[in-house]
A and B are shown apart, each in its own frame.
Chain A
Amino acid sequence: MTPVGRGQGPDLTPIAFEVLLSLVDGPQHGYGIKLDIEARTAGELSLGSGTLYQAIQRLEREGLITEARSGGDRSDARRGRSYRLQPAGRAALHTHLRRLSRVVDYARSRKLLPATE
């Protein structure tokens, strides 16, 4: 089964983007990702299990993240598996961030956003 509609380069959904961001500093388990996203977005984005693992499934399939083997850590059983960023994921994140940065620069130049504080 090949994912349809995502052939031309990494196109991140907002949730996938946030998940990747959460893994930049190292592997995290599912609920850790949720808490991290909540902290970063000041609670604006609060993911449920279904939504989160749907995103994780897609990111895994696309090879952007992978399961992190933590050597039989017992906390895994309680907290669920951990995931870590793959090189392709890091690349996709950078592409996306560059795109966002261009958008922000443009917004600043048109005074849609205040200049850097």
Chain B
Amino acid sequence: MGARGERIFSALLRLYPRAFRQRYRDDLLAFFRQDREHPQYGSGLLRPVRFWSATLRDLVRAAWGHHLAARAVEVSPSASVSGRLSGDLRYAWRGLWASPGVASAALVVLTLGIGTSTAIFSVVDAVALRGLPFQEADRLMSVAETNLMDGGRPMTVALQNFLEWRAQQRVFESMAASAGAGRFTTAGAPPAENLRAVRITSSLFEVLRVAPAMGRPFDARDERTGAPQVAIISDGLWRRRFHARPDIIGQAMTFENGTWEIVGVMPRSFTYPIGSVVVSAVDFWAPFVSSPRDAIRTPGRTYSLTVVARLRPGETQVRAAAEMTRIRDALAVEHPRWFADRGIIVRPLQNAIVGAEVRSWMLLLLGAVGFVLLIACLNVANLLLARAVGRSREVAVRAALGASPWDLARALLVESLLLSVLGSACGVLAAFWGVRILRATLPEHLPRLTEVGVDLRVLGVAALAALVTGVLFGTLPALQFSRPDVAGVLRHGGRSQSGGPVSERLRTILVMAEVALAVVLLAGAGLFISSFVRLMQIDLGLNPEHVLAVGVAPRSASLDRSAAIAAAHPLIMAALERTQAVPGVVAASALSSGLPLSGNSMSVPVQLPGQQPVFRGDDEAFVHGVTPKYLDVMRSTLIRGRWIEAGDVAGSPPVVVLSDEAVRRYFGSRDPMDRTIILNEAPRTVVGIVRGVRLGGPESEVPPEAYIPFLQSDQRSADIVVRTGPDPALVAPHVQAAIRTVIPNAVVYEPQTLAQHFGALVAQRKFNMIVLALFGSLAVVIASVGIYGLMAFVVAQRTREIGVRIALGAVPAGILQMVLGRATRLMVVGLFVGLAGAAALEQLVRAFLFDARAHDPAVYGAVVIVLLVTGFVAAFGPARRAARVDPLEALRAE
């Protein structure tokens, strides 16, 4: 903050005249530095706010004083440019001050418009637009293998291939790999922490062109087998765990499974890999140690590396891709089994981190917020136009006194610019707050979310937005009133009839445009809401609410797997029994494979007696080892036969309960009951059928599943899954405690809830829905303010005409009808244009909708109703005022 604050202040000194600045610059900065320590600004969060508001107030006041003094000194009657501008500014300021209603309405609308756009832009910028925080980042390429069985989806790289690539390629300056190294639990000084580590080749520093802030980077010696374990820690870990001690280099970091020597600390800004919050949260980096043995191509293939490389100067992505493809093809001849289903892809690192999908999503958000900003501009233009009409007499007087059209237009333009600058200032403040909300609401899987913030770039864009909007909404009134009908206006007294019809038509068009844009946004909101509702209505086959899961892994001294299983099962069953007794637990079961919805499930090959086994990944069955209460925990349904019972134990006949999807897939129309099915080479008798579950969430298919008794499974660890009465978070610590009492030395994992996993699966859609709904309602509110303003204006302009009508016998209901009729015509036109626009734009958002329906009549119908209702509410006030016009008053007023 310190140095940045001073830079800002130093830049602001430009507001002073040059002579003053040159003489006192150092003194002013010294003053600034000392004043920052002054106790009068209090303490806490508000201290910087108080300090800056006092400093800025003083600065503006003093700078203004200098300019006034300079003007007073100037003897020449032809005012200088800056003098004229400050004259315009003062005139504008007085003008705004004189009509606080219009000024504050405009300010509120601008604050909302610019605030939301700035906040959204800061997200879009950080995620999709800004370059990576590395030197010459456009030369950084991601090199990945692709899965040819899965449409060429990029995936991680096998170590053997990386080593060959690195040895053979000539297009990259250097090439580096990294791989997650898992989590390490600290030993020694409490609190115990679970640190996340990533292994990197020493070349990574060279590729990214980064260096530790303290200590040394890794080098080739660290990568040899048997080298001492060394680590480079993140700035965050250094501050958090080591209290930023300066003598950190050479210290040891002790974990339950080993000690590491700290050889470096990375700068605060560094993170790698760059990705979502989870991916980027790395506590330390360790050297990638590989032995010559790792280069041997074994029968099994492991893919775990992320590879990044820096292009040589002058090389291009296309040439690099060609060369890497050539290397891959040569390897494929040598090792056909490795490359039958694997391709290679070279793409800019930035694209690898932020995929096309995320990018277009970001552009969608930007587009939507652009609409909001546009509506806000139209609205302010409208307000200013109304005010300009009210001041047409004043304008005419100025024209009569010799002001040129340029003078008049400039005055109005300066006024709108002043308004937009004020609006942006408030908008930026609102954006600071909005960004914090957005960061908390955005789905965690969004890459580079941690970098989202209001910075100079964002402020620059906000300033640009202010300028553009100011000109945009200032031009119309300025054009309209730069050539007033002086004689006409002055002759007609204060109430102008001459500016009326033209500007009224203009304002009507503006409001129609507002309505049309609001309709587009509202339709967008409707589409996203209805799509989300459909998503929520999808039957998962289980009920994720109030389901808690706590993973437990009993430690085993035995190296023999079956002995370890035999030892672990009774412990887990005892823990389960204890858990049942915990208050708040409705039902509890063990589950031997990953939780539904969590993305961790286990599938096995399936075979019927007398048939070849199915090895195709998409035809394998997901196996869950469960205990009798599992159905009650998940609220799933048994369709036929029986469920897993307490009598299904290790020695009893092996049984299986299949899901309806598994039956359909493997048995077709035959009856599966009491038949044998071979799962992972173990035959089991089918004893029942249950409803299938969408394991991957509402947007996934129902896969074939097989439930087996937990005690017949071959897993040493399990999740204890629990249906709770109260909030699972309240029950979780008691469940953990119960498990720990039964198995004191077990690893008991952090509790998870199914609802959390479900939430993560729908987070992006939910976010889109909330944002669009917010924009839609904002647009409707702004548009109805526009309708209200216009109707009030029309009624005020026509008070006399209405008075005459009433005097001639018009009934109040007729007048009411006349005004509302006008509002209706306005809305109908806006609706037509808006609905047509929405229907045309619908294609652009369809990719973001679940189960999208083209031109959903329910959505469009709702849009029409919402808009008409709010529009009528807005127009009703002015209409009633018109109906209550007292003809005597109206006529006397002239």
Q: Which of A's residues lie within 8 Å of B, judged by CB?
A: 1, 4-5, 29-31, 34, 38, 43, 46-54, 56-57, 77-81
Q: Would B65 and A54 count as touching, CB distance under 8 A?
A: yes
Q: Would B28 and A49 count as touching, CB distance under 8 A?
A: yes
Given A31-B35, A43-B40, A49-B35: A78 touches B30 (CB 8 Å cut-off): yes
Interfacial chain A residues near B23, Cβ < 8 Å: 57
How many whole Å from B432's CB to the nearest CB in chain A? 24
Interfacial chain B residues near A31, Cβ < 8 Å: 30-31, 34-35
Q: Would B57 and A48 count as touching, CB distance under 8 A?
A: yes
**C-alpha gap A54/B20 in the complex (Å):** 8
B699 at the A interface (CB under 8 A): no
Q: Would A79 and B34 count as touching, CB distance under 8 A?
A: yes
Nearest A residue (CB) for B32: A49
**C-alpha gap A1/B63 in the complex (Å):** 18
Q: Would A50 and B72 count as touching, CB distance under 8 A?
A: no
Interfacial chain B residues near A52, Cβ < 8 Å: 31
Most A CB within 10 A of own CB, among B27, B55, B58, B73: B27
**C-alpha gap A78/B66 in the complex (Å):** 26
Main secondary structure of the interface of A (DSSP, over half): helix
B24 at the A interface (CB under 8 A): yes
- As a 0/1 sequence over residues 264 to 278 of chain B, the CB contacts with chain A under 8 angstroms (1 = contact) are 000000000000000
Q: Would A4 and B72 count as touching, CB distance under 8 A?
A: yes
B173 at the A interface (CB under 8 A): no
Q: Would A53 and B59 count as touching, CB distance under 8 A?
A: no
Interfacial chain A residues near B65, Cβ < 8 Å: 51, 54
**C-alpha gap A50/B32 in the complex (Å):** 10
Interfacial chain A residues near B20, Cβ < 8 Å: 53-54, 57
Nearest A residue (CB) for B12: A50
Q: Would A50 and B61 count as touching, CB distance under 8 A?
A: yes
Interfacial chain A residues near B40, Cβ < 8 Å: 38, 43, 46
How many whole Å from A37's CB to the nearest CB in chain B? 13
**C-alpha gap A52/B32 in the complex (Å):** 12
Q: Would B30 and A30 count as touching, CB distance under 8 A?
A: yes
How many whole Å from B53's CB to the nearest CB in chain A? 11
Q: Would B54 and A48 count as touching, CB distance under 8 A?
A: yes
**C-alpha gap A38/B38 in the complex (Å):** 11
**C-alpha gap A50/B61 in the complex (Å):** 8
Given A31-B35, A57-B20, A57-B23: A50 touches B30 (CB 8 Å cut-off): no
Q: Would B30 and A51 count as touching, CB distance under 8 A?
A: no
B85 at the A interface (CB under 8 A): no
B847 at the A interface (CB under 8 A): no
B165 at the A interface (CB under 8 A): no
Nearest B residue (CB) for A50: B62
Name the contact of A49 in the complex, choosing from B58, B72, B73 (C-beta under 8 A).
Answer: B58
B16 at the A interface (CB under 8 A): yes
Q: Would B66 and A80 count as touching, CB distance under 8 A?
A: no
Q: Would B62 and A51 count as touching, CB distance under 8 A?
A: yes
Interfacial chain B residues near A46, Cβ < 8 Å: 40, 54
Given A4-B72, A4-B73, A79-B34: A53 touches B27 (CB 8 Å cut-off): yes
B219 at the A interface (CB under 8 A): no
Given A1-B73, A4-B72: A50 touches B16 (CB 8 Å cut-off): yes
Q: Would A53 and B28 count as touching, CB distance under 8 A?
A: yes
How many whole Å from A75's CB to the nearest CB in chain B? 10
List 18 contacting pairs A-B, 8 Å CB cutoff, sorted by A.
A30-B30, A31-B31, A38-B40, A46-B40, A46-B54, A48-B55, A48-B61, A49-B58, A49-B62, A50-B16, A50-B61, A50-B62, A52-B31, A53-B20, A53-B31, A57-B24, A80-B30, A81-B27
**C-alpha gap A80/B31 in the complex (Å):** 7
Interfacial chain A residues near B35, Cβ < 8 Å: 31, 34, 48-49
Considering the complex, which residues of chain B in the window 4-59 have a beta carbon less than 8 Å from any beta carbon of chain A? Answer: 16, 20, 23-24, 26-28, 30-35, 40, 54-55, 57-59
Most B CB within 10 A of own CB, among A47, A48, A50: A50
**C-alpha gap A46/B39 in the complex (Å):** 12
Nearest B residue (CB) for A2: B73
Interfacial chain B residues near A4, Cβ < 8 Å: 72-73
Interfacial chain B residues near A78, Cβ < 8 Å: 30, 33
How many whole Å from B37's CB to the nearest CB in chain A? 10
Given A4-B73, A80-B26: A49 touches B66 (CB 8 Å cut-off): no
